[in-house]
Structure 1
Amino acid sequence: MAYATTNPPSLLQDRVMGGGAVWSYISADARAAVVASGYFTNGKQLGMKVGDVVNCVVDSTGVLTVASVTAVNASTGAVTVTALA
């Protein structure tokens, strides 16, 4: 499956004193797809920035994957996340 802008990540905690934001994302998409380059096609428009943390529950398994925003494409707005563990 592919990312749908109708199911965007939710902002859990905004930036405080220069720190990163924390997001939550739940989807049936495969973990490998979510951590692929540019998965969140509207991430920049949502306000995601490099260094933000994204808690992902994907694969319909209920297993949490903690990821970090590692790239934001300035022209398309697509965001790439990388799993931390």
Structure 2
Amino acid sequence: MAYSTDNPPALVSQGVAGFGKTWAYDSADAATVVRVDGYITNAEELGMAVGDRVEQFDSAGGTVSHVYNVVAINANGSADLSDGTAIASTDTD
């Protein structure tokens, strides 16, 4: 699956003066795809900035699967995300 500007990350919170934003992204794409430089093609247009956090939700399960940081906004407006951290969820009851 590829990124679509019809399903962009959504801004869910931001710090004072707009610094330290957190974005939620609902996608079944693998982390190895999402973290590729340029995957989010319209990051600058959305208002993403270096240091922002992107939480990827698993479309099927509704849980956070990975968390990334924006490490660069490229000249073409796309984002370069960190390799990310996998988030494991269990419910043993």
| Aligned residues with identical type, % of pairs | 43
Name stretches of at least 5 consecutive residues in structure 1 with no aligned partner. Answer: none
Q: For each residue in 1:19-41, what CA deviation from the matched residue of structure 2 results, as whole angstroms up to 9, or x when unmatched?
A: 31000001121111101111100
Deviation at 1:58, TM superposition (A): 4.1
Deviation at 1:83, TM superposition (A): 3.5
Instruction: Report the count of equivalent residues.
Output: 84
Please, what TM-score do these two structures have when normalized by structure 1?
A: 0.85
1:33 aligns with 2:33: yes
- C-alpha separation in 2, matches of 1:17 and 1:63: 26
Partner in structure 2 of residue 11 of structure 1: 11
- C-alpha separation in 1, matches of 2:71 and 2:41: 14
Q: For each residue in 1:56-76, what CA deviation from the matched residue of structure 2 results, as whole angstroms up to 9, or x when unmatched?
A: 1248464521110011012x1
**Alpha carbons 1:65, 1:83 under 8 Å: kept:** no
RMSD: 1.9
Partner in structure 2 of residue 67 of structure 1: 68
**Alpha carbons 2:35, 2:84 under 8 Å: kept:** no
Deviation at 1:14, TM superposition (A): 2.2
Please, what TM-score do these two structures have when normalized by structure 2?
A: 0.78
Name stretches of at least 5 consecutive residues in structure 2 with no aligned partner. Answer: 86-93
Q: Pick closer, same or farther for the CA change 1:83–1:46 going to 2, 3 Å.
A: same
